[in-house]
Structure 1
Amino acid sequence: MSSSSLCVGVVAPLTGRLAPLGSPLSYVLRRLAPRLARLRGGARRRDVNVVVRDSRSDPDAARQAVRELAGPDGAHIVITMAGTRVLPAVTAACEELRVPCVSTTFPWQAYLHTRGAVPGHRFRWTYDFAWGLDDIAAVFADLWELAGGRGAVGCLWNDDLQGSLLRHDHHGFTPVTSPRGHTLVDLGAYGEPADGFRAQVGRMREHGVDLVTSAATATDLALFHRQAREAGVRPRLITCSRWLTYPHTHTTPAPAVHVELADARVATLVYWSPGHPYRSGLDGTSCAELARSYRQDTGAAWLQPLGLAHALVETAHHALSVADDPTDRTSVARALAGTRLDTIAGHLDWTRGPTPGIALLPLVGGQWHPGPQGPRLAVVSNSAHPDVPLTGELTPVR
């Protein structure tokens, strides 16, 4: 690589359990390759190389990928997304090796917690755009209220990172949902993968709970739903973040899981959709156009990470373009810290986040509706972001 050329490093889950979620990023990189080949940075035109390293859906492999990008590959900026253990491994390695990094799809409280930091801490090299656990709680409370008012909500949370953060006295769900009249009933922690939910179903019956919230995998949530249904305590509504923001048909091949979750009509958070009213500042593509092109080019339905993957590339391109010296990593990190950018995922502003290094994205509420081509994610609640059009009505299970 010449001293005047630039390198964008990418850590993506090309293989392993997260591979289905890496597909949108791979697609965006192919789509935007002509736009990335050359850019004007530091008052001159520069060639740009994009180097993709496979995280293999594993934290250790992800750290090794960063070492290769920071060393032999000479990356001036790294982008990454996906994985509650993989993403923190990438960002921590970038911070240690002093490489600017932009990441997404990770709530900012979890982003800090997994790196041993507290709100107010300023990382020098790493930047994230996403939403907060409080934002998820507010959207879910909207959905519970659409399903029939305020009351007890059963919490099906694991015994790992997600569960501990969602239970947190300050960062979790209670500070948001309690003032709105919701009582959270912890149904009991479980390990992943779960071998059964008889105890949790029993607590659900004991407390008269018919609304449930979770952050379970598709497989575990399907098992819970089946055992609750068999026990005669079927939830009227399940809200689920994490894996269920993606179609369950993408995250597991098991037909029985698909049938069970289609019957459950799971509701979830929506951070990007074809109906979002944004255009890319890099190539002018609208959300609807990107989703349509993805379907035409891959034969697969759009996924929420598609828009965020596009915004990742837009952000990297912007930082290299506006940095005083894009060949100097310190200059690129400084450019990221001051970035305010309109993207296909919305307006990103790293100067006004809830804590340094974070740009917030708003959330709306969605529900998976069965359709002839598989699950369809309908936007059913938009109180926090009314510019996003509703595309369906919340349908509790009767």
Structure 2
Amino acid sequence: MNTSPTQLTIGVVAPLTGRLAPLGRPLSYVLRAAAPRLARVRNGGGHKVSVVVRDSRSDPAAARRAVHDLAATDRAHIVLTMAGTQVLPAVADACEELGVPCLSTTFPWQTYVRARGADPGHRFRWTYHFAWGLDDIAAVFAQLWEELGGPHTVGCLWNDDLQGSLLRHEEYGFAPVASARGHHLVDLGPYREPAHDFRAQVGRMREHGVDVVTSAATAGDLARFHRQARQAGLRPRLITCSRWLTYPHTHTVSAPDVHAELADARVATLVYWSPGHPYRSSLDGTTCAELAHAYRRDTGEAWLQPLGLAHALVETAHHALSTADDPTDRAAVARALAGTTLATIAGPLDWNHGPTPNIALIRLAGGQWHPGPDGPRLAVVTNAHIPELPVTGRLTAT
């Protein structure tokens, strides 16, 4: 084991520019705020730590180049990343090819595995992820529907890309869990993003008597669908939407008509982190409420759910470097990640008991966007899977 002080490098691939940039801001903030606590790890003789951030530009090819630069030029001992159903797998694949430990988060583990050309059960050597599953989303959304009674005829507004195909998957997807709870799922038909005409989907909604809609659409597409359904005289009692609608639509799209349409729709979504979550940072004991408050104070912006995951990324990287047999050896850092069990500000993470190798799970609650004086407010409306998380609002049907 190396016992002499050396320089360790944490590499970060973040969307500083491009369409994913709103999701990169929480990560950039956490890196700045946690810098003093990341500056050194006590392992062997103790090591100084530098953090090098490279822009993915919200583009898979640019993300791969960023990994190559971090590996070859910056000599990163671990790479962190989050955001982007195409960008994140590109980072993970590049790290796997180059033999650099990688830790990522922010989208369902089935998407993470399948986007990389593998099936559940495949074991990657260098790359690790923490999030939730499509099945976990289905369980939370079904509970939201059941708050309105039920069972329901649920219209599935899913795209024609990887996300949509996995949601439809008969074994690994969303549909099996929701159907097993007695709900009748109707596929409204795939569409290409961005979409401009949802008349076919609205027609199927009418044909099948759909009263609840579930989706993973962008804010713009969901607003367009809702407007066209409303103009056709149809109004679902509830819309549940994951992916982009886990963030305030005012942060991810600038169009006022989209904001008005989605505010009217009262979209329900999943909650994976909030100021009310009962967790603390493993670095310094910071609570979720304190982190959210500090973010608002320092940036002037409302907290976003990725804030907690970004902090957990940093915590886990620090833990891996602190516990690796030799933190200067990338293989040792990867082994440390593989065996990590850690209580973080995003909840307990355990790579020893995940649903498939290389994955640690985060528990989900159900939320709904309620109008507030400062824009959309995410209220926690169901907490069956996190009973210690306070409910902060009632589910409202339209």
Report matched runs for 1:342-361 at 5 Å.
342-361=343-362
1: distance between equivalents of 2:265 and 2:377? 13
Q: What residue number does 1:30 align with?
A: 32
Q: What residue number does 2:309 align with?
A: 308
Q: What residue number does 1:134 align with?
A: 135
Q: What residue number does 2:41 align with?
A: 39
CA contact (8 A) 2:6 2:46 kept: no
Q: What residue number does 1:280 align with?
A: 281
Q: CA RMSD in A?
A: 0.9
The alpha carbon displacement at 1:3 in A equals 8.3
The alpha carbon displacement at 1:147 in A equals 2.2
1:73 aligns with 2:74: yes
Q: What residue number does 1:293 align with?
A: 294
CA contact (8 A) 2:104 2:313 kept: yes
Measured against aligned partners, the alpha-carbon deviations of 1:107-163 in whole angstroms (never above 9, x if no partner) come to 111111011111111101000000000000000000011123212100000111111
Report matched runs for 1:57-206 at 5 Å.
57-206=58-207
CA contact (8 A) 2:18 2:57 kept: yes
Q: What residue number does 2:6 align with?
A: 4
Q: How many residues align?
A: 395
The alpha carbon displacement at 1:39 in A equals 1.5
1: distance between equivalents of 2:383 and 2:155? 23
2: distance between equivalents of 1:291 and 1:349? 24
The alpha carbon displacement at 1:283 in A equals 1.3
CA contact (8 A) 2:14 2:81 kept: yes
CA contact (8 A) 2:40 2:46 kept: yes
Q: What residue number does 2:368 align with?
A: 367
2: distance between equivalents of 1:117 and 1:38? 36
Letter in 1 for 2:220: T
1: distance between equivalents of 2:134 and 2:34? 31
Q: What residue number does 1:253 align with?
A: 254
Please identify, of 140-149 and 267-276, the stretch whose mean Cα deviation from structure 2 is larger. 140-149
CA contact (8 A) 2:18 2:58 kept: yes
Measured against aligned partners, the alpha-carbon deviations of 1:339-384 in whole angstroms (never above 9, x if no partner) come to 0001000010000001110000010000000000000000001111
The alpha carbon displacement at 1:38 in A equals 1.4
The alpha carbon displacement at 1:70 in A equals 0.6
1: distance between equivalents of 2:311 and 2:22? 16
Secondary structure of the residue aligned to 1:44 is: coil
Secondary structure of the residue aligned to 2:372 is: coil
Letter in 2 for 1:106: F
2: distance between equivalents of 1:126 and 1:30? 24
Unaligned runs of 5+ in 2: none
The alpha carbon displacement at 1:254 in A equals 0.4
The alpha carbon displacement at 1:173 in A equals 1.9
Identity of aligned residues (%): 77
Unaligned runs of 5+ in 1: none
Secondary structure of the residue aligned to 1:192 is: coil
Secondary structure of the residue aligned to 1:370 is: strand
Q: What residue number does 1:270 align with?
A: 271
Letter in 2 for 1:8: I
The alpha carbon displacement at 1:265 in A equals 0.2
